[in-house]
Structure 1
Amino acid sequence: MSDTDREVVARQLGRPPRALVGVAHRCPCGQPDVVETSPRLEDGTPFPTLYYLTCPRASAAASRLESAGRMREWQEELATDQELAAGYRAAHEAYLHERDARDVLPTCATAGGMPDRVKCLHALAGHALAAGPGVNPIGDRAVEGMGEWWAKGPCALPDGGTDGDGA
Structure 2
Amino acid sequence: MTAPGERVREPITPEEREVVGRQLGRPPRAVRAVAHRCPCGQPDVVQTSPRLEDGTPFPTLYYLTCPRASAAASRLESAGRMREWQADLGTDPGLAAAYRAAHEAYLAERDALGELPTRNTAGGMPDRVKCLHALAAHALAAGPGVNPVGDRAVAEMGEWWAQGPCALPGEERP
Query: By the TM > 0.5 criterion, same fold?
Result: yes
| Distance in 1 (alpha carbons) for counterparts of 2:15 and 2:79 | 35
State the Cα RMSD in Å: 0.8
Q: Deviations over 1:109-141 (max 9, x none)?
A: 110000000000000000000000000000000
Percentage of identical aligned residues: 80
Structure 1 residue corresponding to 2:74, chosen from 45, 55, 63: 63
Counterpart of 2:5? none
Point out where structure 2 has 5 or more consecutive residues left out of the alignment. 1-11
Counterpart of 2:161? 150
SS of residue in 1 equivalent to 2:123: helix
Counterpart of 1:14? 25
SS of residue in 1 equivalent to 2:52: coil
Give, as a single letter, the amino acid of the residue that structure 1 aligns with 2:123. Answer: G
Structure 1 residue corresponding to 2:102, chosen from 91, 94, 114: 91
Q: TM-score when scaled to structure 1?
A: 0.96
Structure 2 residue corresponding to 1:118, chosen from 121, 126, 129: 129
SS of residue in 1 equivalent to 2:47: strand
Q: TM-score when scaled to structure 2?
A: 0.92
| Distance in 1 (alpha carbons) for counterparts of 2:118 and 2:60 | 12
SS of residue in 1 equivalent to 2:32: strand
Structure 1 residue corresponding to 2:170, chosen from 147, 160, 164: 160
| Distance in 1 (alpha carbons) for counterparts of 2:148 and 2:56 | 29
| Distance in 1 (alpha carbons) for counterparts of 2:14 and 2:124 | 32
Counterpart of 1:103? 114
1:160 Cα deviation after fit: 2.1
Question: In proportion to residue count, which structure has more helix?
Answer: 1
1:47 Cα deviation after fit: 0.2
| Distance in 2 (alpha carbons) for counterparts of 1:9 and 1:103 | 23
